[in-house]
Structure 1
Amino acid sequence: MLIYYIISLIIVGIDQFTKYLTVQNIPLHETLEVIPSFLSFTYHQNTGAAWSMLEGQMIFFYIVTLIVIGVIVYYMQTYGRQDKVFAFSLSLILGGAVGNFIDRLFLQYVVDMIRVEFIDFPIFNVADMSLTIGVTLMVIYLFFDEWKEYRQKKVGKN
């Protein structure tokens, strides 16, 4: 199980490092174009959740994040031991949750910087990517796990 906690720590480290580089090198609300019409870095301070929902509700975010972290660690220690894909998805979610929690705790906002130019999408960060990939992987895993159980029950009836 240690490897999955290390993965989470690596994600937190990369997330915090990219946020540090952003704050040190890009003025607030300024944009640094990386690939024209495709990708840029824009320093943004988000006081809410995704798409700036629930702006300024820091106490709410503290409580929810601590509960989420507790649930993730519980599932990692129980069910994560049984399946590597499930444990990996939890490690991605944990890394993303902790990365953004650090910002909220110490800055009262989350540093976002990655902007895709070819679609109208909110600015995000490494922690957000980790959360999104982790949740997507978990949904796919749970779908296939349920399908596998359904197939086993169906075969057992025949």
Structure 2
Amino acid sequence: MAKHRTHTAAFILGVILLVSLDQYTKFLAKAHLERHTDLVLWKNVFVLRYIENRGAAFGMMQGGFLFFYLLTTVVLTGILLILRRTPAARRYLPLRFGLFLLFCGALGNLIDRVFRGYVVDFFYFQLIDFPVFNVADCYVTVSAVLLVLLAFFYYDESEYDYIFHWGKRKGEGH
């Protein structure tokens, strides 16, 4: 029980810190880039460019506000339910971390949608013409890569059965 409380406290503190970092960088981008041309950090490679994204990742599905609110609420709730079911054992720390990053990224962009009506994006890799993104998007991308790697190479089927399919833990009776 104490381990669960420690994880919960760490989760809440971590969410506050990472979402604050995301929101602060968006505040800085809005304050310093909104009415200016690109800020070139590395010529023809990396630029700070202010964009108001009213869509999903990389500007897809522009204007689908209600859909994004509902989807994000479902995702955030699902993450909390999965975390609640995930054992506090050290083995599941990578899974908890991946879900934590996903939660922070989704929440950071939801805050923008609710309070601004759009998501502030400002990182642009000009070299590969990658869509403009933000810190919350970095959290989501890193978490997605981590969760895929864990799914294929770290956890086995019985662990998924317990966590994701609401089955029984290894060693529990039938």
> 1:95 is matched by which residue type in structure 2?
C
What fraction of aligned residue pairs are identical, expressed as a percent?
34
Aligned-partner Cα distance in 1 for 2:110–2:101: 14
1:105 aligns with 2:111: no
| 1:3-14 → structure 2 map (5 Å cutoff) | 3-14=10-21
Alpha-carbon separation, structure 1, partners of 2:87 and 2:44 = 41
Residues 127, 80 of structure 1: CA spacing in aligned structure 2 closer, same or farther, 3 A cutoff? farther
Q: How far 1:148 moved relative to its partner?
A: 8.2
1:54 aligned onto 2:67: no
C-alpha RMSD of matched pairs (Å): 1.7
> 1:74 and 2:74 equivalent?
no
Whole-angstrom CA distance in 2 between matches of 1:16 and 1:28? 19
> Deviations 1:8-59 (Å, cap 9, x if unpaired)?
2222111100000011111257311112222110000000001211110101
- What is the identity, as a one-letter code, of the residue corresponding to 1:138? L
Match of 1:112, SS?
strand
Aligned-partner Cα distance in 1 for 2:107–2:131: 20
Q: Partner of 2:34 in structure 1?
A: 27
1:36 alignment partner, one of 37, 43, 49: 43
Tell me the distance in 1 between the aligned counterparts of 2:36 and 2:130: 16
Structure 2: segments with no counterpart, 5+ residues: 1-6, 159-174
> Match for residue 132 of structure 2?
123
- Taking structure 1 as the reference length, what is the TM-score of the superposition? 0.88
Q: Secondary structure at the match of 2:77?
A: helix
Quick check: 140-149 or 11-20, which moved more?
140-149
- Residue aligned with 2:154, SS: helix
Displacement of 1:6 = 2.4
